[in-house]
Amino acid sequence: MQSGAALTGGETAEMPGFYPENEYDLAGFSVGLVDKSKIIDGTAVRAGDVMIALPSSGVHSNGFSLVRRALDLESADLTSPRNELGGASLGTTLLKPTKIYVKPILALIESVPVKGISHITGGGFFENIPRSLPDGLGVRIEKSAVRVPPIFGLIESAGNIPERDMWNTFNMGVGMTVTVAPGDADTALAVLRENGEDATVIGTVLPSEEKVVLL
């Protein structure tokens, strides 16, 4: 997957119980630079603004310790087609590459004022979205507007995982959220769709001490 970013560094990771003896993982990262005046830090978010979801490609890179336990991957059939996954195998579904949103987001911020951005990684909705909201504001998210891929329902039922824990661990089909003024929502959706993202409005910002409310 191409993002136009240069690889400038990396790290090794240790995850006991995951890698066989004498094997390791090499992960790369890139560093971005932005003018201070152009930083999107959520301070411009106001009540009435709308939150737009960019869809994920699946589980992405977070929550796999819980995935492995819930689905018992050590003994699970990873190669056979499964009806509940639209005919895809469990292995193929779980190994879908994590989406990179650089290009659509750059196109978006050149088209409308983007007030807040949240990358939905480990910690799901409840830990990531609050970072893009100022004090005294929260977001009301309509669960019915979130397109949850079937893999998450399979994980939830197989592991008997409480719903809140699912939304507090996984991206649930939303890889990134952006917050814009209501008058800019249609333009934002059009720009994102022109850049390959089937984006949708999933929530509204409102005065609240509770940062994320799922309805």
pLDDT tier, 33 (very low <50, low <70, confident <90, very high otherwise)? confident
- What CATH number is attached to the domain comprising 172? 3.90.650.10
Predicted TM-score (pTM) of the model is 0.87
Q: How far apart are CA 139 and CA 212, in angstroms?
A: 5
Domains: count for the chain: 1
Percent of the chain with pLDDT over 90: 79
Q: How far apart are CA 28 and CA 117, in angstroms?
A: 22
Query: Does some domain include residue 133?
Result: yes
By the 8 A CB rule, do 202 and 175 touch? no
Query: Does some domain include residue 123?
Result: yes
Query: Does some domain include residue 105?
Result: yes
- Structure tokens given for 127: 């830990």
Using the predicted structure, report yes or no on whether residue 15 has a pLDDT greater than 80.
no
Burial label for 86, CB within 10 Å (0-12, 13-18, 19+), is exposed
Report pLDDT for 7.
61
Query: Does some domain include residue 168?
Result: yes
Residue span of the structural domain in which 149 resides: 38-214
At 149-193, the pLDDT tens digits run 999 999 999 999 999 999 999 999 999 999 999 999 999 999 999
Query: Does some domain include residue 6?
Result: no
